[in-house]
Structure 1
C-alpha cells in the first residue's frame, strides 16, 4: 500500500468511509467540548458566586482563542497535513475543559475557555477541510451537520448532569465527561490512522472548506486554480 499523497485514499487501499467516520467523530467531540459550557453557567454562577461579567467574559476569551485557529488552521493543515492539526486541536479543546474540571474560579474559567477556543478553531478549520478531502460535497455537508449535533448534544447532556446530580458532582462530572469524550475520540482516531491525513498535494487541494457558521469554503485565487488545472492536464496526458 502506497502513501503517495497524489493518489486518492481509495486507490491507496484505505477505505475513505472509515477515514471520514473518524473525522466526523472528532468534529462531534470538538463541538461538544466547545459548547457544553453554556449549560454550566447557572451552576457555576450559584456554586462559585461568579458575576455576570465573569461569565460573559468567558465567551469573549473563547472567541479570542477561536479566531487564530479558524483563520490559520486550514492553511497550516495544507502544509503539515490535516490529521496532526485536527488531533492537536481536539486534544487542546479537551485540555481546556480539563483545566475547568479542576478549577471553577474566574481565572480557571478564563484560561480554560481560551484554550478550548484555540483547540476548537484548529480542529474545526482543518477537520472540515479533511472531511471535504475524503468525501467531497457529501463530506462537507456531513461535517457541518455532525459538528452542529455536537454543539447541541454537549449542553443537553451537561445540563442534565448538572441538574440531577448533587451539587459537587454536578459541577465536576459534566467537565469530566467532556474531557473523557475528547481524549477517547482522539486516541481512537490516532490509533486507527484515519485516511486522508497526509499533506494535500497542490493538485488535490482545490477549493477547501472553512467555516461559514459550521463550515464554508476557501476560494483559491485564479493563478492557483490555473496551476492545479495544468497539473491535472499534465498527468492526464501520461
Structure 2
C-alpha cells in the first residue's frame, strides 16, 4: 500500500514537472518566432527607407543597385553572426573555480594541461581482471553502510545484480597511491607558504596606503 502511494506521488511530481517543461518550451518557441518576425519586419523597413532616400536623390541607377546589394549583404552577415554559437573564447575570465585571489591554482592541478587532458596517462591505474573483480577492495563488516534516503520501487531499480558483488567492500589498495599522497602533501606545504607570503605582502601594501589597492 505504501509503495502504491509512493508511486502515485512520483507520478504526480513527474506530471507537474513535465507540464512545467512543456510550458517553458512553448514560451521559448513563441518568443523565438516573435523575435524572428520582428527582425524580418525591421529588415524590410530599413530597405524601404534606403530605397526612398535613393529615389529622391541624384544617385545614378547603377550606384543605387550597388547600395541596396551592400545593405542586403550586411543584413545577411549580421544574421549569420547572430546564429554563431557562443563559446568560452567569447568571454573574459574574471573568476575561475579552483583558483585563489592571486590566480594561483591548487598544486594537485599544477601539471595538468587541460587542453590535452584526454591524451595524458593516469598517475595510477588499478589492475582489474573483470567487472566483478573485488581485489582492490576490502570488507568492512565492522562498519554500518550509510542509510539510503529513498525507499520503494525507485530505489530497488537503482540496484543491479553486478552491485551485489561489491556489497560489504571498501577500497583497500592504499599503498599504490601512497606516493601520490606524499607528493600532494609536499605540494600543499609549498602552496600554503606561497599563499601566506602573498597575503603578508598584500597586508604590507595596504598598511602603506598603496593607491593601486581597492
Same fold (TM over 0.5): no
Q: TM (normalized to structure 2)? A: 0.23
Which structure: greater helix fraction? 1
Q: Which has the higher contact order (CA 8 A, sep 6+)?
A: 1
